Amino acid sequence: MLVVTAVPAERDAVTRAFAPGLAEVIAAGVGPAAAAAGAARALALAPYDLVVSAGIAGGFDVPLASAVLADAIVAADLGVRTPEGFAPVTSLGFGTDTHVPPPALVRDLAAATGAATGPLLTVSTVTGTAGRAAELRAAHPGAVAEAMEGFGVAEAAAQAGVPALELRTVSNAVGPRDRAAWRIGDALAALTEAFGKTLPVLEGWHRHD
């Protein structure tokens, strides 16, 4: 298994959950481009059965320091803005804006970790206003969180023919930036705990289940 995080603090939080050799965990950088490049390089150097985008995230109506698991990994700002509003890249007749993780694996991992499931949005610009948060909620009903790397990781995995997941923990609410309310340390501790709970499920999972 390859786990791709953005920054060393996230990488270290995930690594603490695994015995040596159980997973390759890398910090590829912030944003979808860095995540895709890092994941693609790792996939070119070694074979993996599963790729996981991991880290902390902003949450939509989920408790801080709780886990979220994508049932769809969505590029929320990949497309075009028109006078009528935003149109995703798929509406232009090319590309994709969504990757779907293995549903049975998502179900089993959600049961093991207690993670909330739903679309997990990838953005290149983090939401910092109530207006943008409302826009994302309207466009993606049921979304559980936003982060900056999941779609890049999933795109690299798809091009390599490998399934992808996105598992994160929530450090802050999506919306106006209130740094005093962020719980980054708690979210990182929760990330270690969540990945520890994935081990029995992942050890029993086969790629073609």
* Residues 111-141: tens digit of each pLDDT: 999 999 999 999 999 999 999 999 999 999 9
pTM comes to: 0.92
Q: Within 10 A of 130 (CB to CB), how many other CB atoms are there?
A: 11
Could you write out the three-class secondary structure of 119-188? EEEECCCCCCCHHHHHHHHHHCCCCCEEECCHHHHHHHHHHHCCCEEEEEEEEEECCCCCHHHCCHHHHH
Domain residue spans of the chain: 2-204
* Residues 155-204: tens digit of each pLDDT: 999 999 999 999 999 999 999 988 888 999 999 999 999 999 998 898 87
What confidence score (pLDDT) does residue 207 get?
62
Query: Residue 81 — pLDDT band, cuts 50, 70, 90?
Result: confident
Output 209 or 148, whichever has higher pLDDT. 148
Q: Which fold has domain 2-204?
A: Rossmann fold (3.40.50)
